[in-house]
Chain A
Amino acid sequence: MDSFSSSPSSGSNSQFQSEQLKNQLKAQLAQAYIEQFMETISTKCFDKCITKPGSSMSGSESSCISRCVDRYIEATGIITSTLFSSPH
């Protein structure tokens, strides 16, 4: 109770601004990460699945893309857990 009444209004306001800035920064970093990740997946899966671009996307190409995206995400998971588990 005492800490609430003694905290100056200007202090809590700037603290609020700082929290806002932090959240904004985190959101932008997350956005940049996702964009980079999507860009890599697109490059990899295009190489794997669209070997001879036809006049339209075939069913086998689009199912290859689905599998490729799933596997790429899985590969990212395998590598993340390998790097952050015990060495060797």
Chain B
Amino acid sequence: MDPSQVQSAEFAQFLAQEEQRAKVGEMVIKITNVCWDKCITSTPGSKFSSSESSCLSNCARRYMDMSLLIVKRVQNMQ
């Protein structure tokens, strides 16, 4: 096989992988942003209370649930 062809296929794979990584990173930033507002209502202390940390976990899971629901809902409209 042509070596440049191998390289470009490998490079495309690298790009796809990095794109995926960047999307995951963006998602974490986004969810932390909205869940911080929902869950951390008082001035930040020296550690999270147990209700704050469980709120953050629940909030992240519900955000994912919601995203799925929205995708389904919008798909049904088409």
Give the interface of A toward B (CB within 8 A): 11, 14-15, 18, 22, 25-26, 29, 33, 36-37, 40, 44-45, 48-49, 64, 67-68, 70-72, 74-76, 78-80, 82-83, 87-88
Say whether chain B's binding surface is mostly helix, strand, loop, or mixed: helix
Complex: how many Å from CA A29 to CA B29?
A: 14
Contacts of B21 in A (CB 8 A): 29
Say whether chain A's binding surface is mostly helix, strand, loop, or mixed: helix
Complex: how many Å from CA A11 to CA B6?
A: 11
Bin the interface of chain B by size: 20 to 34
Complex: how many Å from CA A45 to CA B18?
A: 30
Complex: how many Å from CA A75 to CA B72?
A: 29
